[in-house]
Structure 1
Amino acid sequence: MLTLRIEGPRSEVHAFIQDVKNNPQTRVIAQSMPYMEEVLEGQNVTSYCQLQYHSLEKMGKSMVVTLETKEGENLIFSLEYGKVIRVGNIFQITGKIVTFLPKISSR
């Protein structure tokens, strides 16, 4: 089990925890209730979240990722195992792919 300590503006902390709850690779076991949060200066808070993390391999689920280039071309690949982390609008994808991406030229 993992314990996360999250600090920041209350709305951002709650949005982050919601993202963790919506991630299929995590299962939230417990989290701080609003009245349990430590209030810091500037209306920032400290909150805690306990979760279990499951890799795609253990879940027995592969993942297909589609990226669209600026030219409108779709690049599709399958993840055999790995992890996907989402923080707001930023995604980080790591793992082993089943099929390889075509070479993307830099312009």
Structure 2
Amino acid sequence: MAEISSSRPLISRPTEAARLTYYSGITPQIPHPLIVRPAEAARLTGIPRSSLYWRINQGTFPPVVKLGPRSSGFLLAEVQAVLEAHIAGWPLDRIQVLVRELVSRRPGLAA
């Protein structure tokens, strides 16, 4: 008897553009932002989920985007920007400024 996996996909709606980016390293123009679920963000960053939420409270990680009443995710571009800042050795106060700037540029938010 075939075993059925009950786990949900970690990345919401993978597109051909996302697969192209993952497998070839080419970044095509994507018409909508990619969202990763908290478990996938933890895997990508190497930071436990509880620590991600602690960093959100500290202002050093972008907050989640609500997808529904019981669903949330992170914008992949924001997660990547914060990781790049850490790799570059930015101090935490500069990363906090980056996070505020990223959140202020989210599509659909009034200034």
TM-score bracket, shorter-length normalisation: under 0.3
Give TM-score, length-normalised by structure 1: 0.24
Structure 1 or 2, whichever has the larger Rg, is 1
TM-score, normalised via structure 2 length? 0.23
Point out the structure with the larger helix share: 2
Higher strand share: 1
